[in-house]
């Protein structure tokens, strides 16, 4: 790190302290002896969402949270649970390390979380996400949900030996 005073010398770290979302470092210039403070923050990962029509837009956690909140409206689900689901999905996307994520992948992650959280919220989200054309396609989705629920119950009672 160059000294901001003499603009020439290199510096050494005297003291480091972790703050909420950064690291504060006290430094001393090896050439002129001046002391100064620097703050280091991790660079935010910029995640782009690729829409169905090919457009790209920056991932917005608030937008994801609001979509989940709409599906969970008037259901016994707390705001904390909704925010936790949204944060888990964001963390999973960042962990995957891809700079661009298809919106369909995000929709599938939301549906998987909602299926475990609340069946009605799952069906609400699925009806918007999958854009059902008629009642029959909605009925098929509900039948699949019932089958998933039945398999989950069987797995709880009798765990699988081989996956």
- Cβ of 126: how many Cβ atoms within 10 Å? 22
Q: Nearest Cα to 111, choosing from 156, 76, 73, 64? A: 64
- What is this structure's pTM? 0.64
| Per-residue pLDDT, 106 | 96
Say how far apart CA 117 and CA 127 lie, in whole Å: 17
Q: CB–CB of 4/13 below 8 Å?
A: no
Q: What is the DSSP letter of 109?
A: H
Instruction: Give the number of C-alpha atoms closer than 13 A to the C-alpha of residue 142, restricted to the C-beta side.
Output: 10
154 pLDDT above the threshold of 80? no
- Read off the pLDDT band of 160 (50, 70, 90): low
Q: Rounded mean pLDDT of the chain?
A: 89
């Amino acid at each position: 790190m160059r000294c901001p005073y003499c603009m020439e010398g290199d510096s050494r770290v005297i003291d480091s302290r972790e703050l909420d979302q950064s690291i504060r470092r006290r430094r001393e210039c090896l050439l002129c002896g001046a002391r100064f403070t620097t703050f280091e923050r991790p660079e935010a990962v910029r995640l782009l969402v690729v829409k169905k029509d090919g457009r790209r837009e920056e991932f917005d956690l608030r937008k994801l949270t609001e979509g989940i909140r709409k599906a969970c409206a008037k259901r016994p689900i707390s705001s904390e649970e909704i925010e936790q689901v949204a944060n888990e999905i964001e963390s999973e996307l960042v962990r995957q390390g891809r700079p661009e994520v298809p919106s369909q992948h995000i929709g599938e992650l939301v549906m998987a979380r909602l299926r475990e959280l609340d069946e009605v919220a799952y069906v609400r989200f699925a009806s918007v996400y999958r854009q059902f054309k008629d009642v029959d396609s909605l009925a098929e989705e509900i039948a699949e949900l019932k089958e998933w629920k039945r398999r989950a119950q069987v797995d709880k009672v009798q765990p699988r030996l081989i996956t």
